[in-house]
């Protein structure tokens, strides 16, 4: 195959994803939209069309677009991506909480099903927004997606336990391999097991000390989530890998990311369909996907 923008390698995954598989963490970038003041990641343009090519390589069908930290609370680029990808895409926006009901309904109609609060690389939002944001989006049935350092995560335990919306933690919850059993990891397992939260096995190369998804130290961390609550685990590529464009780690091979997910699924004895099809359907409200039963792995 030809080289793909923002993805190393050219081969397809060895493990074929099930029909209807969803990549639950994708960003798009467009120079027509200005970066927010103070934005730390300023990657080149990466379009929905570019991502379509990667989908064909990976064998995925559905996608969840997340407004990246680059744009602050400007969701226009993400919404353009949703329009381009159509009904097989959902969105996660970044908001201030002061938006009108009409604006939130407009976002919902465009396919948005959650709000992200990025307390790691974000340029908007603080931990004080957790409760106000959750109350604001609860009537819509949306979830609150969180990215924060483990010490801050543990410090917010009491707040997180009482929020009135589902929580989604991306990038392995920012837990480093080898930190299993520490306070933040224990809290995530508690929230998962209690049906209060979901975890994305995304950005493994970000939390890895080796800066690669090939890191074997990721295996027990991924398995800890899958064994705790397999019905609450999602997967995402984190394409187009803005941290790689910034030189913080090598550009990932997204086919290998699919293969590594299947390694973790085998380790925890969890079906690929559970994580790649059924769980995204439940969280993001995709229509039920009923493939030919003869081809379900």
Q: DSSP readout, 119-176?
A: SSS-SS--GGGHHHHHHHHGGGT-EEEEE--HHHHHHTHHHHHH-SS-EEE-GGGGPP
What's the pLDDT tens digit per position in 206-234?
999 999 999 999 999 999 999 999 999 99
Mean pLDDT confidence for 284-289 = 90
The token pair that represents 270 in the structure block = 């969890």
Distance CA 44, CA 48 (A): 13
| β-bridge mates for residue 62, sequence order | 22
C-alpha 154/C-alpha 239 separation (Å) is 28
Check residues 120 and 253 and name the one with the higher pLDDT.
253
- State mean pLDDT over 108-134: 92
3-state helix, strand, coil in the chain (%, to 5): 45, 15, 40
Averaged pLDDT, 263-291: 94
Euclidean distance between CA atoms 15 and 13, whole angstroms = 5
d(CA 35, CA 23): 25
Lowest-confidence region among 76-85, 178-187, 288-297: 288-297
Question: Would you state the pLDDT for residue 288?
Answer: 86
pLDDT at 16 over 80: yes
Rounded CA gap, 68 and 75, in Å? 9
Contact (CB, 8 A) for 66 and 27: yes
Average pLDDT over residues 152-158: 97
Which of 58-72, 87-101, 283-297 has the lowest average pLDDT? 283-297
Q: pLDDT-based confidence at 93, cuts 50/70/90? A: very high
User: Where in the sequence numbering do the catalytic residues fall?
Assistant: 238
Bridge partners (DSSP) of residue 235 are 201
Mean pLDDT of the chain: 94
Burial code (b: 16+ CB inside 10 Å, e: under 16) for 278-289 equals bbbeebbebeeb
Domains of the chain: 22-289 (3.20.20.140)
Beta bridge pairs of residue 24: none
Give the count of beta carbons closer than 10 Å to the beta carbon of residue 178.
Answer: 11
Per-residue pLDDT averaged across 68-73, rounded?
A: 96
pLDDT above 90 (res 293): no
State pTM to two decimals.
0.95
Q: To the nearest whole percent, how much of the chain has pLDDT over 90? A: 91
How many angstroms separate the CA atoms of 73 and 103, rounded? Answer: 13
Average pLDDT over residues 168-183: 95
- How is residue 88 annotated by DSSP? G
């Amino acid at each position: 195959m030809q080289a793909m923008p923002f993805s190393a390698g050219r081969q397809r995954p060895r493990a074929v994803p099930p029909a209807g598989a969803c990549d639950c963490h994708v960003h798009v970038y467009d120079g027509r939209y200005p970066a927010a003041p103070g934005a730390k990641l300023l990657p080149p343009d990466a379009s929905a069309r570019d991502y379509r090519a990667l989908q064909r390589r990976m064998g995925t069908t559905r996608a969840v677009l997340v407004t990246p930290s680059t744009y602050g609370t400007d969701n226009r680029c993400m919404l353009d991506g949703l329009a381009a990808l159509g009904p097989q895409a959902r969105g996660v926006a970044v908001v201030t909480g002061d938006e009108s009901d009409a604006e939130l309904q407009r976002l919902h109609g465009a396919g948005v099903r959650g709000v992200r609060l990025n307390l790691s690389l974000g340029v908007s939002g603080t931990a004080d927004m957790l409760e106000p944001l959750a109350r604001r989006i609860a009537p819509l049935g949306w979830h609150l997606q969180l990215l924060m350092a483990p010490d801050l995560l543990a410090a917010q335990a009491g707040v997180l336990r009482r929020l009135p919306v589902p929580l989604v933690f991306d990038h392995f919850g920012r837990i480093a391999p080898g930190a299993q059993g520490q306070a933040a990891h224990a809290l995530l397992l508690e929230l998962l097991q209690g049906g209060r939260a979901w975890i994305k096995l995304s950005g493994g190369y970000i939390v890895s000390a080796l800066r690669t998804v090939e890191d074997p130290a990721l295996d027990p961390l991924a398995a800890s989530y899958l064994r705790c609550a397999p019905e609450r685990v999602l997967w995402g590529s984190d394409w187009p890998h803005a941290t790689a464009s910034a030189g913080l780690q090598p550009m990932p091979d997204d086919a290998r990311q699919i293969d590594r997910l299947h390694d973790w699924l085998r380790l925890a004895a969890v079906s690929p369909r559970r994580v790649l099809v059924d769980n995204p359907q439940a969280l993001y409200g995709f229509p039920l996907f009923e493939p030919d039963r003869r081809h379900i792995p």
